[in-house]
Structure 1
Amino acid sequence: MTAEESILNKIQILITNHFETPKKAFNFFDEDHDQKLTKSEIVKLLKEAEISGFIRGVVSSKLIEGYDKNADELIDWEEFKLAISKIKKSDS
């Protein structure tokens, strides 16, 4: 399992074990309720997913870089769904 797959797996476990749906997970971490996840909100998600503190900042930047399709440096619900779909594909 690659590092990316390991991180995505931990995120999937967090979402599956603590939230009824991915949308509820997204809303929980969207602290300012603007329907977008900021880097700091993503870092909190990664902390809850038990991603090492040492790499959270790097991973959050890479997640934004990889899934931020409209280049606003935020992850909106549609972009989050794309990330979730990749998690589900890597789990199959």
Structure 2
Amino acid sequence: MSTKEAILNKIQILITNHFNSPEEAFAFFDKDGDGKLTKSEIKDLLKQAEISGFLRGIVSSKLIEGYDKDGDELIDWEEFKFAIDEISDESK
């Protein structure tokens, strides 16, 4: 399993085990309630998913780079949902 797969797997486990739905997870990590996840909020998600501190900054940047479709350097609900759906597909 690659590092990317391991990280995505940990995110999937976090969301599946601690939240009733991806929407609930998104709302939990969207601390300011603006409908978008900032890099800092993504780092909190990664911390909860037990991603090491060393990797959190790199991974949060890569997640934004990979899933931020509108270029605002934030992850909105649709982008988050797309990422979760992709994670779910990869784990099958």
Q: Same fold (TM over 0.5)?
A: yes
TM-score, reference length from structure 2: 0.99
Question: What's 1:24 paired with?
Answer: 24
Shift of 1:2: 1.1
Aligned residues: 92
CA distance in 2, matches of 1:49, 1:69: 24
| Amino acid across the alignment from 1:4 | K
1:67 maps to 2:67:
yes
Give the structure-1-normalised TM-score.
0.99
Partner deviation per Cα, 1:21-53 (whole Å, 9 max, x = no partner): 000000000000000000000000000000000
Task: Please report the RMSD computed on the Cα atoms of aligned residues, expressed in angstroms.
Answer: 0.4
Which runs of 4 or more aligned residues in structure 1 lie more than 6 Å from their structure 2 counterparts after TM superposition?
Answer: none
Give ranges in structure 2 of 5+ residues lacking alignment. none
Whichever residue aligns with residue 53 of structure 1, its letter is G
The alignment-based identity, stated in percent, is: 71
Secondary structure (helix, strand or coil) at the match of 1:34 reads coil
Q: What code does the residue aligned with 2:33 have?
A: H
Query: Is structure 2 residue 24 aligned with structure 1 residue 47?
Result: no
